[in-house]
Structure 1
Amino acid sequence: MRRPRPAPRPKPQGPPVELLIDHVGGDGDGVAQGPVFVPFALPGERVLAAGAGERRELIELLAASEQRVEPPCPHFFACGGCALQHWAHEPYLAWKVERLRATLARERLETEILPAFGALPATRRRVALHARKGNREAARLGYKIRKSWDLVDIDVCPISDPKIQAALPHLKRLAAPLFEHAKSAPTLHVTLSDTGLDIDISGVERKSGGLSADARMVLAERAAAADFARVTLDGEMAYGARMPQVRLGPAVVRLPPGAFLQATACAEEAMAAFVVEAAAGATRIADLYCGVGTFTFRLAEIAPVYAADSAPPAVQALSAALASAPGLKGVTAEARDLVRRPMLAEELKKVDVAVFDPPRAGAAEQTAELARSKVSRVIAVSCNPATFVRDARRLVDAGFTLERLMPVDQFLWSSHVELAAVFSR
């Protein structure tokens, strides 16, 4: 059997032991009786693993699963960005669906689970690349090594859009002047827009004065040479050639620095199609945690929309984009903290469909108001099944039925799974 390529870190202590892998756990590790967790091991495999305690390292495959495939990335096994490239797509996707079903069961929730949407390789339009000091011409750039603060200096990334992959040498050059201060640990948040790459850089030491004028000049020159659309430092403009923009349904939105977009355009389309279908027939819609309008503009083709989000720049971008989409039923947008000031049941009196797409913490405060309201349909989009089931339980206890749910595998080869769901009274 081919030995997995080990990550560059100290060898695990303790004699190797033979283990039979029973299933794959929540983080993507193989699980043997004990439990003992072994990265890169699959159900039914016999493996030789070293280490002590619950966490071991795979040393050798003694009997490989038929579901094992050759990982497409040369950095896999060391890079911490992906966990499951070695698993065939069908059983991998089925595992994510079953994990989601088990999460629902913990809150006694049952529903129709639709076929899962699965993102394909080379479709990620949004990545966060860590930088470490290299030389004057190029930094080291990539993802963190498993269980380490160091990183794998990547030259390919099969999950990313080809335009991002092609830009890796330019991004390494862009990051090189960011290390004037020893405490700087930059991260390049790269978004592929319709007008080019938008890069917002965080982690540059500011207490010592930030980047010098010379370093900023080098940064701008290298951004221009790479034909990037925009480069910002924690939202502050460092270089701008074109305004990054994307099409969201019928509208063209100019993105504020660091704006949130769904990680892949194809997953966005799948979730938007689900949301629009579920909202059909609405007379007034609330789009809560609307961001820059991922669903807002599409929903406004059905009925008037009240849109709210806690990020004022996102709401401003949404409002400005309304001029690019004539013929909508009407949009009222407000910057509003939906945790501290959720839309109250009394404010929802004229709303018959509510959509919410919260961050990982979920929408507990807003869900409580939806539960008190007379809204007839609620459509939830969630990046965290654990907080989704908490919020879903409250809606069901208030008289809603969880009608159907679509699993969304947007973060390919990770343990992460998302979803879209619809509730009705």
Structure 2
Amino acid sequence: MRSSKPIRRTSTRPPAGPAPESEVTITEMGGEGDGMAPGPIFASFTLPGERVRVAGTGERRKTLEILSASPERVEPPCPHFGQCGGCALQHWGMQPYLAWKRDRMIGTLARQHIETEVLPIFASPPYSRRRAALHARQGRKDEARLGYKIRNSWDLVDISVCPISDPKITAALPAMRRLAAPLFEHPKSAPTLHVTLTDDGLDIDITGVERKSGGLSADARMRLAEQAAAGGFARVSMDGEIAYMDQAVPGVRLSGVRVDLPPGAFLQAVPAAESAMVDFVVEAAAGADRIADLFCGVGTFTFALAGVAPVYAADGAAPAITALNAAVANAPGLKGVTAEARDLVRRPLLAQEMKKLDLVLFDPPRAGAAEQAGEIARSKVSRVIGVSCAPATFARDARTLIDAGFRLERVLPVDQFLWSPHVELVGVFSR
């Protein structure tokens, strides 16, 4: 007869001890901005040519000590660097850092067998970002903790300075901590403050507040509005629903045209980078007769292009199109803008709808524009401009156009997210 008692198994695993240590030489930079040694072994905050001591097993190791430093190593400008997950490359000199980004973009195109003229990279300066996504965690009753997530952690660094953000955003951190204090009535709330610096002040859209339980109470909403007024914010909204607005709808100027922004509207992160991309686009569009601006948003490129020729503009975000149309009505001197709310992924502009167009610009999200690129490839359009925040999906869509007879003439790389591994670009195609 078998016993009904459970069998107790003795573990043969050795007791956990300190992670094994080793010395490695970094030979190149990995795609996420970590140094890479043969293996591969990735070690954060290291540079090519450095001899380092690391701990752990597997591909990802913890950097313990820099035994032999690269001459390209510099002192990081931020006291939070190394703990904050917002930046990965502040320890690298600007010239080799920018060259790495440009080369990385060239390598991404090469994987699709694409060669073209690549211009010098546009470098955004420090203290220039007008957008930030700040995470909040519960702190004292009248003041939340606010900052960026710690690398590989849910917890955050309660920041005091930020050398990538516009100083007006950093100066408002104390007021934003007080603003976030009423958001924690439900234990599952993990708010994020999406902050945009507009011509009228800070516009803040809050996401991540638990809503299944009914959302914020009337008392918490009142406290939120009071703190928004005390902080001098232009507008505060929650998932697009306005909780407080000072007087007028906050807005920005795009190519000289005032656009009142819907809550949570997308803008390019750095005004100087936006200007560089717009100038490049306008130069490439010279001589066009009819233009389509696809994934147009609130009109980053629309108004500049409408100074060249009549523009058809489309985007899946209906509030953005409403804002664009309202701006057009008060913008004299344009050669004509027709704007439509249209899901260009599910309902791309068809080749037959492009019969009268000679230039198409597309600026999709990170997933790219595979469906729309296919329709452009089947059209008779002679020029195309692609704007992208993801070189891999741009290269995929570019391959579609090239296979249809287009040539990628030139590319402008743009470093809009300083000290991160991300690089953006604008590419010009002709048939």
TM-score normalized by the length of structure 1: 0.97
CA distance in 2, matches of 1:33, 1:220: 55
Alignment partners' CA distance in 2, 1:99 and 1:209: 47
- Match in the other structure for 2:351: 345
Pairing 1:45–2:50 present: yes
Distance 1:281 1:13, change over 3 A: farther
The SS at the match of 1:56 is strand
Equivalent in 111, 115, 120 of residue 110 of structure 1: 115
| Aligned-pair CA distance for 1:14 | 1.7
Could you tell me which residue of structure 2 aligns to residue 3 of structure 1?
Answer: none
SS of the aligned residue for 1:185 comes to coil
Equivalent position amino acid for 1:281 in 2 = G
Which is greater in Rg?
Answer: 2
Within 5 Å, give how 1:166-315 maps onto structure 2. Answer: 166-241=171-246, 242-315=248-321
Answering whether residue 329 of structure 2 is matched by residue 331 of structure 1, we say no
Task: Report the Cα distance in structure 2 between the residues aligned to 1:86 and 1:95, rounded to whole angstroms.
Answer: 14
Tell me the CA shift for residue 13 of structure 1: 4.7
- Aligned partners of 1:325 and 1:278: how far apart in 2? 23
* Structure 2 SS opposite 1:200: strand
> Structure 2: which amino acid aligns with 1:324?
N
Secondary structure at 2:354 match in 1 = coil
- Which residue in the other structure is 1:360 paired with? 366
Q: Which position in structure 1 is the counterpart of 2:13?
A: none
CA 1:13–1:404 in 2, change beyond 3 Å: closer, same or farther?
A: farther
Aligned to 1:6: none
Deviation at 1:323, TM superposition (A): 2.5
TM-superposition CA deviations, 1:157-187 (whole Å, max 9, x none): 1100000010011111100110000010000
Identity, % of aligned positions:
71
- Residue by residue, what CA displacement relative to the aligned partner does 1:203-228 show, whole Å, maximum 9, x if unpaired? 00111111111111111111111110
Q: Counterpart of 2:425?
A: 419
Q: Deviations over 1:53-101 (max 9, x none)?
A: 1110110111100100000111100000000000000000000011111
What amino acid is aligned across from residue 256 of structure 2 in structure 1? P
Comparing 320-329 with 35-44, which one deviates more in the overlay? 320-329
1:12 shift after superposition: 10
Per-residue deviation, residues 124-169 of structure 1 (Å, max 9, x unmatched): 0001000000011211111110011111111111100000010011
Match of 2:323 in 1: 317
1:137 to 138, 142, 162: 142
Distance 2:20 2:317 in 1: 53
Take 1:180 and 1:13, find their aligned partners in 2: how far apart are those partners? 40
CA distance in 2 between counterparts of 1:389 and 1:339 reads 18
The corresponding residue for 2:75 is: 70
Q: Structure 1 segments of 4 or more deviating over 2 A?
A: none
> In 2, Cα distance between the equivalents of 1:227 and 1:14?
50
How far residue 15 of structure 1 moved from its aligned partner, in angstroms, is: 2.1
Whether the 8 Å CA contact 1:363–1:391 is kept in 2: the answer is yes
Letter of the aligned partner of 2:259 in structure 1?
A: V
Distance in 2, Cα, partners of 1:12 & 1:275: 58
In 2, distance between residues paired with 1:249 and 1:76?
Answer: 35
Q: Secondary structure at the match of 1:347?
A: helix
In 2, are the aligned partners of 1:80 and 1:146 still within 8 Å (CA)? yes
Give the partner amino acid of 1:204.
V
Q: Which amino acid aligns with 1:27?
A: E
CA-based RMSD of the aligned residues comes to 1.0
Check if 1:380 corresponds to 2:406. Answer: no
Give the number of equivalent residue pairs.
415
Tell me the secondary structure at the aligned position of residue 420 of structure 1.
Answer: strand
Tell me the distance in 1 between the aligned counterparts of 2:289 and 2:127. 39
- Decide whether the 8 Å contact of 1:12 with 1:51 is kept in 2: no
In structure 1, the gaps of 5 or more residues are 1-10
SS of aligned partner of 2:233: coil
237-246 vs 37-46, which deviates more?
237-246
Q: Distance in 2 between matches of 1:286 and 1:236?
A: 31
Task: Write the mapping of 1:22-61 to structure 2, written as runs, cut at 5 A.
Answer: 22-61=27-66
CA distance in 2, matches of 1:16, 1:159: 34
Q: Distance in 1 between matches of 2:345 and 2:180?
A: 36
Partner of 2:168: 163
| C-alpha separation in 2, matches of 1:394 and 1:287 | 19
Choose the corresponding residue for 1:393, options 385, 391, 399. Answer: 399
Q: Secondary structure at 1:393's aligned position in 2?
A: helix
Separation (CA, whole Å) in 2 of partners of 1:64 and 1:406: 32
Q: Encode CA deviations 1:392-420: one digit per residue, 9 max, x unaligned.
A: 00100000000000101000000001000
* C-alpha distance in 1 between matches for 2:374 and 2:18: 50
SS at match of 1:388: helix
Equivalence for 1:101:
106
CA distance in 2, matches of 1:260, 1:136: 32
Q: Distance in 2 between matches of 1:38 and 1:77?
A: 12
